[in-house]
Amino acid sequence: MASKDVVILSDASFQTEVLEAETPVLVDFWAPWCGPCRAIAPTIDELAREYSGRVKVAKLNVDEAPELARRYGVRSIPTIVVMKAGKVVKGPVGTTPKEKLKAFLEDVLRSEPSSRAAG
């Protein structure tokens, strides 16, 4: 089961939780029968806690939302993507070490426009 920091997505919530989000959203496409998905789940939970307020972390069960999985080109799971302003920033497929996921998220956050005023 996902931690309280992870948003559980559905067809109904995807638009508001992901496409209209103000922060980047890491989406974990997974299924309960998928061993590698279960193996990476604790890492996803840790990232949700560590990046709270900077990156929204969400999980989408591909068995419950197959059309969304198809729309985003998910061919194998786990597939992790980051979405910014409704656009996909490709992420890793398969079980990925936490350090690699963190490096990917840091790259995404570095590419965010700064909200600080110049000067």
Q: For each of the chain's 119 residues, which pLDDT tens digit applies?
A: 567 899 999 999 999 999 999 999 999 999 999 999 999 999 999 999 999 999 999 999 999 999 999 999 999 999 999 999 889 987 777 778 999 999 989 998 998 665 443 33
40 is catalytic: no
**What is the rounded distance in angstroms from the CA atom of residue 34 to the CA atom of residue 28?**
12
pLDDT of residue 96: 85
Domains of the chain: 6-107 (3.40.30.10)
pLDDT of residue 118: 39
pLDDT of residue 79: 92
pLDDT of residue 71: 94
112 is catalytic: no
| Active-site hit among 25, 37, 48, 62 | 37
Whole-structure pTM value = 0.88
| Active-site hit among 6, 25, 34, 81 | 34
pLDDT of residue 7: 96
Give the contacts of 102 (CB within 8 A, at least 6 positions apart): 47, 50
CB-CB neighbours of 27 under 10 Å: 25
